[in-house]
Amino acid sequence: MNKTLKRIAENFLFAANIFILFLLLFENKMIFPAWLQSVGRMHPMFLHFPIVILLIAMCMEFFRHKSTYSSQEFYQNFTTLFLLIGAISAAITVIMGLLLSKENGYTGDAVMFHKWFGVGIVFIASFIYWVRNKNFFTPLLAKIFSVVTVCCIIIGGHLGANVTHGENFVSTPFLSKKITEKAPIERAVLYTDVVQPLLAAKCMSCHNSEKAKGNLLLDNEADILKGGKNGKLFIPSNPRNSLLIERINLPEEEKKHMPLSGKPQLSDDEKELLFRWIQTGADFKKKVIDLPEGDSLRLIAAKFLAPPQEEEFTFSPADEKTIHSLSNNYRVVYPVAVESPALIVDFYNRKQFTSKALEELNAVKKQIVTLNVNKMPVTDNDLKTISQFENLRILNLNFTDITGNGLQQLSALKYLKSLSISGDKIDNKNIAVINKIKSLKEVFVWNTPLKTDDINALKNENKNIVFVEGYINDGKPTQLNNPILLTTKYIFSDTIHLALKHPIPGTQIRYTLDNTDPDSVSVLYKDDLVLDKTLTFKARAFKETWLPSDSIVYDFYKSGYKPDTVFFADLPADKYKADGAKSLFDNKTGELNFGLGKWIGFQKDMEVFMQFNKPVKLHSVALHMLKNIGGDIYPPTLIQVWGGINKTHLKLLQTIKPIMPGNGDISSLFLEECKFAPTNIGYIKIIATSVKNVPKFGTSPNKKGWIFTDEIFLN
């Protein structure tokens, strides 16, 4: 190595050591400019170089005094060079690390010990370089200091991995094999046994007491609810406007996507779990079995838990087309779980119920394990049909028209475990037939003519059956489950029937259609509700002595007309073109994750043309759009709607200027509607002007913004 260059490198190493001491002494009194923070963020990229160089140098130093190498000038010079390069690169890495540690989120013991081990490596390596040729630095000392340096590198590297990737990063692969036991669904708590393990595995490496990126901690309930520097992590019951859902659904290449690129990513099931958990109110105490069977959150949570301790279904699944055909506006048929052959059947419209509706289920009678005819006009004669559902496990006959004379028909159900006859005219004589149903485990007898003495006698005669007499008020109000929306379509052409239910008898469901939150005096839901226009539907459950449920929120869109031809003036971006122009009228809205192929994106003005073979009378045009500041996706600055009988006779029907988002606004789906006087339309042109200069708070300031749309509604 050139002597002049070597002298410069040695002086640099000395200066770097002094600068490190200066930073350590005055780090709490210093404020670093933004460009130095960027230098600090290069620490994780640069640190691997000195680790490798120093490990090689320490191995060579350990054997330097061995007779085989002590006389070799090349070996001695090469060791000196590697030690100098390693010490200098380690010093640069430590300086970067000290700058990085000044940013928010780097706290805790792991960060502190990682810092001091890094500083120690620099000082020890520098000390070895400067004294290694002194007489007092014996071969034994050389070996001791080499081993100490290697140990510091290993321990410091391990602590750094914990800071970056989470505690026990190195040991997780073999430790995780030992932690394979899942909580059984019967006693699992949604947050403790399902959500929290997910956060620990995929999120807490960056959001823990040691390293709280964005000042966000996920260690406990209080910190999760507190949120971080960007605000609340989520809005209970409103996942579509929650920061957590926004970040996990950004494309992985986006800077704000979480978890960070290169770290274990969330699966689709895990994203769905977090979405549904927030949608149902983000309850930290609720058990999985508190959710109704068939509830989407319960179904997705079951994938992360041990299966119920019960026998497997041995019968074959029913034909999917048959199952689909049996679901209509008064009955829903759906599987117990994904890939399960077992079916659940719910009836929810009393006015349309007939005995024939039960008989139609004979096509899937072997697959039905749960039948809910709560509040339906079921009679004793109908029990004969029900008795043919040979694999029935759960039967809900609450508040029906049965008298008990036909209960003996149920003795044919050899798998029946749960029978609900609350609110029915069942007396002590009729209920005696349950002795013949050997498989029964529970019977619900609320609000029946049965007296306390009658029920006590039944308990004595049937030790294996639990008789549930009703809700016992212990003085502590309990929150109701959310109402369940049975309707699965959200876009309709004329009208749509909304069907809701609640698993707790006597519960009232109240709703609003004006985007306000429902309260105890809002409109009472009865049977079904017919919508005939675009609106936001909100509903809550109410019951005396219970706390009201959280609100459920759904957007419904009316799409009265579909054009015969639709095309763009210029094609959308290749990676955001969905299925082309036809996807604007496929009745499928996109999600917050705009990388899933449903959205149409333009980084320029968007012009859409639509033509009808026969003119139609329109009074509004609405665009369903996406706002995502992290992806530079903004509402149009201007929307113009032109229309006329044909393309040569167009006039401006309406112009609107959407509200632009501000700094900190979270991603959301929104509707921009242009209303105008009813007009006969054969041809429409829509022009949406994009943001020409992204604001300073955006990801790419002063560049063009994106426009994203997935549906157009014509009414």
pLDDT in tens, 603-634: 999 999 999 999 999 999 999 999 988 788 99
Spatial contact of 462 and 445, defined as CB atoms under 8 Å apart: no
Query: Which residues make Cβ contacts (< 8 Å) with residue 33, sequence separation at least 6?
Result: none
| 35: enclosing H helix or E strand | helix 34-40
Do 576 and 628 form a contact (C-beta atoms < 8 A)? no
Residue 646 has pLDDT above 60, yes or no: yes
Cα torsion 423, 428, 431, 434 to 10°: value is 130
Cα 102 to Cα 361: distance, rounded to the nearest angstrom = 67
180 pLDDT more than 90: no
- Spatial CA neighbour of 284 closest among 179, 373, 192: 192
DSSP H stretches of helix in 132-220: 139-165, 172-175, 196-202
CB atoms within 10 A of CB 166: 23
pLDDT digits (tens, 9 = 90+) for 285-336: 888 877 765 567 887 888 888 765 555 788 999 998 999 899 888 888 888 8
C-alpha distances in angstroms, 15 versus 54, 97, 122? 19, 17, 12
The residue behind tokens 């921009």 is 672
Supply the Cα-derived Rg of the chain in whole angstroms: 34
Closest CA to 597 of 490, 699, 710: 710
Considering 176-190, 285-299, 395-409, the range whose residues carry the highest mean pLDDT is 395-409
pLDDT band at 77 (very low <50, low <70, confident <90, very high): confident
Distance CA 592, CA 628 (A): 8
The Cα-based distances of 658 to 343, 584, 605, 609, 636 in angstroms read 47, 20, 15, 21, 7
- At 63 the pLDDT is 84
Pick from 195, 164, 155: nearest CA to 263: 164
Q: Residue 345 CB: number of other CB atoms within 10 A?
A: 24
* Mean pLDDT over each residue of the chain, to the nearest integer: 84
Q: What is the C-alpha to C-alpha distance for residues 510 and 268, in angstroms, rounded to an integer?
A: 33
- Of 354 and 180, the structure prediction assigns the larger pLDDT to 354
Angle at CA of residue 603, ends 602 and 605, nearest 5°: 70
Question: Residue 395: pLDDT above 90?
Answer: yes
Sign of the CA dihedral with 194 first, then 196, 200, and 206 last = positive
Of residues 358 and 297, the one with the higher pLDDT is 358
Q: Which two tokens stand for residue 500?
A: 């809701």
Percent of the chain with pLDDT over 70: 89
Is the pLDDT reported for residue 583 higher than 60?
yes
Q: What is the pTM of this model?
A: 0.47
Residues 6+ apart with CB under 8 A from 56: 82, 86
Q: What is the pLDDT of residues 8-53, one digit of tens each?
A: 888 888 888 888 888 778 776 766 665 666 676 666 667 777 877 8
Establish how many alpha carbons lie within 13 A of residue 538's alpha carbon, considering only the half-sphere containing its beta carbon.
15
The arithmetic mean of pLDDT across residues 234-245, rounded, is 86
Token pair in block for residue 172: 């997780």
Work out the angle between the directed axes of helices 73-100 and 48-62 (0-180°, nearest 10).
150
The encoded tokens of residue 658 equal 């959407």
CA distance 114 to 207: 17
Q: Is the predicted pLDDT of residue 179 greater than 50, yes or no?
A: no
User: What is the rounded average pLDDT of the residues 562-584?
Assistant: 92
Is residue 437 a contact partner of residue 412, using CB atoms and an 8 Å limit?
Answer: no
